[in-house]
Structures are given as structure tokens and as C-alpha cells.
Amino acid sequence: MSLDPETVRTIAALARLRVAADQLGHLGEELSAIIGFVEQLQGVDTADVAPMTSVIDLLLPERVDAVTDGNCREGVLANAPERIDCFYAVPKVVE
């Protein structure tokens, strides 16, 4: 399995990562080597094996559906790169 520059461009778009056009080829080679390495798993017999969902034998705990936290708007917004009043500001998405 080898990842051509076009495939790398598609994955990068899915991952919202800007990759310079002149890096697509080299990155494709690196990623292909890693995919080639993990490819060996195809030879493992996993018929009738359940995929792991939890590494320890514990049931997911449940709790009462109640508010346990809150009233910390300033704390939450304190790290905003850009804000307007009590909102995060981003480039316009709706005209």
C-alpha cells in the first residue's frame, strides 16, 4: 500500500491540516512506510476474536444526570485567541 500525493492531500484535508504542495510526495513516502509496517497485521488470524472495547474489566459507571459544574464562563473564555463579549470570535461562516 502506498500513499500517492493525491491521497495525502485528501487525508490532510480531512484532518484540517495545511500541508505545502511540495511536501506531499515526501510525506506520502513516510506514511507509506508506516502503513507498510502495520500492514503485517493482515496475516494474523482474528476469526472469532472480538475487538477490544475496554482494557480493564469494568462496567461503565452511571451517575445521576445532574449539573455538577458550571458558572465559570470567564475561566472558560480566558484562553480565547479572540472573543467578542462572552463569545468566541471566528471568521464569518454565514453571509
Partner 1 sequence: MSATLTSMTLAEASQQLQARALSAVELTRAHLDAMASHRSLNAFITETPELALERAAEADARRAQDAALGPLDGIPIAIKDLFCTEGVLTTAASHILDGFRPPYESTVTAKLKAQGAVMLGKTNLDEFAMGSSNITSYYGPVKNPWGPVDGKDLVPGGSSGGSAAAVAAGLCLAATGTDTGGSIRQPASFCGIVGIKPTYGRCSRWGIVAFASSLDQAGAMARSVRDAAMLLQGMVGHDPRDSTSAPVPVPDFAAALGQDIRGLKIGIPREYRIEGMAAEIDALWRQGCAWLEDAGATTVEISLPHTRHALPTYYIIAPAEASSNLARYDGVRFGLRVPGASLDEMYQNTRGEGFGAEVRRRILIGTYVLSAGYYDAYYLKAQKVRTLIANDFREAFRSVDAVLTPTAPSDAFAIGERLDDPIMMYLNDVFTVPTSLAGLPGISVPGGLSGRGLPLGLQVIGRPFDEEAVLRIAAVIERCAGFSGRPRG
What are the residues binding partner 1 (CB under 8 A)? 3, 8, 11-19, 27, 30-31, 33-35, 37-42, 44, 46, 49-58, 60-61, 63, 72, 75-76, 78-82, 88, 90-91, 93
CB of 49 to partner 1, least distance (A): 4
CB of 41 to partner 1, least distance (A): 5
- DSSP structural state of residue 42: G
Task: Identify which of 33, 45, 41, 43 has the alpha carbon closest to the alpha carbon of residue 1.
Answer: 33
* Helix segments in 1-95, DSSP class H: 5-14, 24-38, 73-77
